[in-house]
Each structure stands twice: as C-alpha cells, then as structure tokens.
Amino acid sequence: MLAVLNSEAELAGVLGHEIAHVTQRHGARQMTKALGAQFLTLAAAAGGALAGGGAIAPAITLTQAVMSNVLSGHGRAFEFEADEKGLYYAWKAGYDPREASKFMRRLRQLERLRGIGYHGFGSTHPETTLRILKLEELAQVLARPGQKLAVKGDHYKAQLSGLVYGERKEGYRLKAHRARAGETLPDLAAKYLGNRNFSLELALLNDLDDRTVLKEGQRIKIVRKK
Ligand SMILES: [Zn+2]
C-alpha cells in the first residue's frame, strides 16, 4: 500500500480510515451483530427441534452463511463511516483532505492492471466509485480557501527506495528517482525493467501521462528488478 501512495497527505487519509474503524468501535459492533445472529439461529434451531426436528440442519447452514458474511469485511456502512471520519482526522492533523481520493483512484487503476488490493476495496465494485465521490465532496467542504494544508509529496516519495513492490517473489523494488531534464517514462521503463511497455504502470503509480517529459529534479517513483 505504501508503494501506491504518493504523499503524506494520502497516507494520513489511509491511517485516518483505519483509526476510525477503532474509534467508531466497528469491531465490537460487528461482533455484537454476529453474536446476535448466532443466538437467533440457535433459538430457531431449538424451536425447530421442539416442533418435531428436521429444522436443525438448515438453521445451522444459515448461521454459517450469516457469520461468514458478517466477519468477511467491515460492511458497507462501516467503510463509508471510516472514510468520512478518517478524512476529518487527516484534515484535523493539518493535511490536505483533497489528496485521499487521488489515492483511491490510483489504487483502482492499479488493481485493474495488477491485482493490488486493499481491505474493503474492489476496483470493479460500484461502491468504490461512490466512496471516491463522497470523499471528494467532503474534501471540498473541509478545505477552506487560505488554509495552510500539508501534502508533502516529494518528502514522502524520497522514503520509498528499496520498498518491495507487488509480491515479494516477483522481485520488484521501488526507487525514488530524481528525473533529469527530458527523461521520459518509457526511457526509465527500458532502463530499469528492460521493457518500455512498463511505462503505463509507472505513469499510473505517479499520476502522470506516460508521454510526459520529465523536468529536472522531478521526484518520481520507479520500479526496478532487484
Ligand atoms: Zn475500512
């Protein structure tokens, strides 16, 4: 996940989201729901047994379905709540709230390209689009004109050299690259990955067009074989 992020402000959005799952007690509320479902089903099973048996097996199948559904993810309402609270926390900490949705868009594109996923997130799910739109809407409300808000993009990217990119067994690592004037992403893809076609992935990783001509000193993330 750190490899996909492009600034401290984006990281603040992700950490805010995770912290919000805790402060809103999503784990505990989920557990209560699961236990409630379990008791209901046991009661139904007991009722079925009293009424002459035969009903226990279907009731138990139902409880397993409910449990796995409840426990497999935080659920849509909790994800929306964590997005909203999390963005508020990032803004309160002084970060630009307009960055978080950029990360979500980038993640969606990279997930389509490479299958890099994240909890509660599905690139093909219509809900992901709705989450991005809601984040953008709230960010516009929070970020007032004249307010000093931190992004810290170059500072963040400079920390990433050596980070594993993708599955460890694939052997890719990130490198924080300082561009020379006139360099292009296909040049860098050829130099570090031996294949100009990787320029699309480099472009997505950095929110750039793959025909961009880089400026002297521009900080970008590149991927190289270990
Ligand atoms: Zn979440």
Q: What are phi and psi of 173, to 5 degrees?
A: -130, 155
Q: Are residues 128 and 216 in the same domain?
A: no
- Rounded CA-CA distance 160/1 in Å is 11
Alpha-carbon gap, residue 224 to 108, rounded angstroms:
22
Q: Which helix (H) or strand (E) holds 171?
A: none
What single string gives the DSSP state of each residue in 110-144? HHHHH----TT--TT-HHHHHHHHHHHHHHHHH--
Query: pLDDT tens, 70-99?
Result: 444 567 888 899 999 999 999 999 999 999
pLDDT in tens, 106-159: 988 888 887 655 555 666 666 888 999 999 999 999 998 888 999 999 999 999
Residue that finishes a domain, picked among 151, 169, 189: 151
Which of 119, 151, 183 terminates a domain? The answer is 151
Looking at the chain, the number of H-run helices and the number of E-run strands are 9, 3
136: tokens are: 């953008």
Instruction: Check residue 123 and give its pLDDT.
Output: 60
Do 76 and 145 lie in one domain? The reply is: yes
| 48 has a pLDDT exceeding 90 | no
CB 9 within 8 A of CB 95: yes
Strand, helix or coil for residue 167: coil
What mean pLDDT is reported for the chain?
Answer: 85
HEC profile for the chain? CCCCCCCHHHHHHHHHHHHHHHHCCHHHHHHHHHHHHHHHHHHHHHHHHHCCCCCHHHHHHHHHHHHHHHHHCCCHHHHHHHHHHHHHHHHHCCECHHHHHHHHHHHHHHHHHHCCCCCCCCCCCHHHHHHHHHHHHHHHHHCCCCCCCECCHHHHHCCCCCCEECCHHHCEEEEEEECCCCCEHHHHHHHHHCCHHHHHHHHHHCCCCCCCECCCCCEEEEEEEC
Q: Is residue 4's pLDDT more than 60?
A: yes
Under the banding of pLDDT at 50, 70 and 90, the label for residue 202 is very high
If you measure from the C-alpha of residue 132 to the centroid of ligand 1, how many angstroms do you get, rounded to a whole number?
13
Q: 61: CA distance to ligand 1 center in Å?
A: 28
Which residue range is the domain that position 52 belongs to? 1-151
pLDDT grade for 33, boundaries at 50, 70 and 90: confident
Do 21 and 125 share a domain, yes or no? yes
DSSP state for residue 223 in the 8-state scheme: E
191 lies in the same domain as 145: no
CA of residue 203 to ligand 1 center, whole Å: 27
Q: Are residues 41 and 121 in the same domain?
A: yes
Residue 134 is predicted with a pLDDT of 96
Q: Are residues 36 and 80 in the same domain?
A: yes
**3-class DSSP assignment, residue 221:** strand
| Domain co-membership, 74 together with 183 | no
**pLDDT computed for residue 53 by the predictor:** 56
CA–centroid distance, residue 16 to ligand 1 (Å): 10
Output the pLDDT for position 29.
Answer: 84
| Same domain for 169 and 119 | no
pLDDT given at position 76: 81
Last residue of a domain, one of 151, 183, 216: 151
Q: What is the pLDDT of residue 157?
A: 96
Ligand 1 centroid to Cα of residue 221, in Å, is 26
The pLDDT of residue 87:
97
Domain count, the chain: 2
Predicted pLDDT of residue 117: 57
For ligand 1, the distance from its centroid to the CA atom of residue 19, given in whole angstroms, is 9
Q: Report how far ligand 1's centroid is from the alpha carbon of 10 (Å).
A: 15
**Residue 146 and residue 61 in one domain:** yes
Same-domain pairing of 18 and 111: yes
Between 65 and 2, the higher pLDDT residue: 2
* pLDDT given at position 51: 67
